[in-house]
Amino acid sequence: MTVFKSSGKNIGFLFPLILLTFFSSCSARIDAVLMEGAAAELTVQTSLGPRTMALLNSMRSFMGEESETPLLDGPSISGSLVAISGIGAVHLNNTSPSALEGRISLSNVSNILADSNINSPFISYIQGSGYSSMVIILDRETAPELISRLSPEIVEYLSALFAPLVLGDTSTRQEYLGLLASFYGRPLADEIEAARIFVRIEFPRQISAVQGGSFNGRHAEFNIPLLDILVLEQPLYYEVRVNN
């Protein structure tokens, strides 16, 4: 089995970048259609939980910021994403001050973070005998590099939530939840612990196996705890194998 960076001929797979876009969310759904040639179309929906929203609104008020500005600013996030190579177009609109939805077109996922200093690619295309697979590894090296490309609001929200991913510490899941509970109360910690990100991806060919999720035919599904991403106590590994 040979591992190499994804090239323009592979099917493409980019859900870690979109996950990072919604790190500050308490719920998110991502539906993706992947095509031959490394292009993809994604539909996204995301929103903040009520306790997270109350905390962030309190902080904004304390800092004297205008409350009319959406907590999740669709145009601001769109502008940050569209500046990343490999992304063709982004249209994210606010459905409320704490929720947004829209579409993201990926022109070539193989170019994502091509200009970074990451030692190993977080997207790898693996060619085996009778199948091909896309492997995603999200760890404490790749995730900060990804999040640095997003809007300042996302980084500010994660810092307010003491996310180990942003602060660079090595807290465990339970240590992080304990910190949240001690500063902001157990209800907010419980809200973060319960938050999930649901991802459904349609591949151009039949799927033979999935690690980190489930599949049916050409569709792979992932139900990812937000806490796992915020802490990254262990690297997150996802793989989808498709028949050649």
Give the model confidence (pLDDT) of 3-18 as tens digits: 323 333 333 334 444 5
- Please name the residue that has the structure tokens 């990072």: 20
Tell me the per-residue pLDDT of 112-127, one tens digit each, with 9 for 90 and over. 655 566 555 566 666 6
Say if CB 177 and CB 37 are below 8 A apart. no
What local confidence, expressed as pLDDT, does residue 70 receive?
Answer: 74
Residue-wise pLDDT tens digits, 189-235? 998 898 888 889 898 889 999 999 999 999 999 998 889 988 988 88
For β-strands 87-96 and 99-106, DSSP reports them as antiparallel
Both tokens of 192, joined, read 């973060």
Q: Which stretch of 41-45, 102-106, 164-168 has the lowest confidence by average pLDDT?
A: 164-168
- From the CB of residue 26, how many other CB atoms can be counted at a distance below 10 Å? 22
Q: What percent of the chain has pLDDT over 70?
A: 72
Which among 96, 102, 135 is positioned nearest to 31, based on CA atoms?
102
Which pLDDT value is given to residue 7?
A: 34
pLDDT score recorded for residue 43: 92
The per-residue pLDDT for range 29-55, each reduced to its tens digit, is 889 888 776 678 889 888 888 888 887
pLDDT tens string 59-93? 777 666 666 677 777 887 788 777 776 778 889 89
Q: Which pTM was predicted?
A: 0.80
d(CA 45, CA 189): 22
| DSSP-assigned states of every residue in 127-140 | E-SSEEEEEEEE-T
pLDDT score of 130 more than 70: yes
